[in-house]
Amino acid sequence: MGGEPGPGGPTPIVVAGPAACGKTTFATALARRLRYALFDLDQVTGPLSAAALSLLGRAEHAFDEAGPGQELREARYASLLDAARANVAIGRGVVVAAPFTRELAGPSAWRDLVARLTGRAPAPVAGAGPASVALVFLECPRSVVLERLRARGAARDRLKLEDPGAVEQLVTDAPPRVPHLVVDGTIATEDQVERALAGLGLRAAVAAPTTAGGPGW
Q: Where are the domains of the chain?
A: 13-203
Q: What is the pTM of this model?
A: 0.77
Cα 113-181-21 angle, rounded to 5 deg: 85
Q: What is the C-alpha separation between 151 and 145, in angstroms, rounded? A: 10
101 C-beta neighbours (distance < 10 Å), count = 17
Domain with residues 13-203, CATH architecture: 3-Layer(aba) Sandwich (3.40)
pLDDT at 33: 96
Q: Is residue 146 very low, low, confident or very high in pLDDT (cuts 50, 70, 90)?
A: confident
List 214's β-bridge partners, or say none. Answer: 211
Model pLDDT for residues 74-107, shown as the tens digit of each residue: 888 899 999 999 999 999 999 999 999 889 988 9
Share of the chain above pLDDT 70, in %: 66
Closest CA to 116 of 125, 103, 135, 106: 103
pLDDT at 162: 57
Mean pLDDT over 170-188 rounds to 83
β-pairing, 134-139 vs 13-16, is parallel
Share of the chain above pLDDT 90, in %: 42
Closest CA to 175 of 26, 16, 20: 16
Overall residue count recorded for the chain in this entry? 217
β-pairing, 181-184 vs 94-97, is unpaired
Rg value, the chain, Cα: 17
Q: Is residue 70 very low, low, confident or very high in pLDDT (cuts 50, 70, 90)?
A: low
Please provide the average confidence, as pLDDT, over all residues in the chain. Answer: 78
Q: Is residue 177 very low, low, confident or very high in pLDDT (cuts 50, 70, 90)?
A: confident
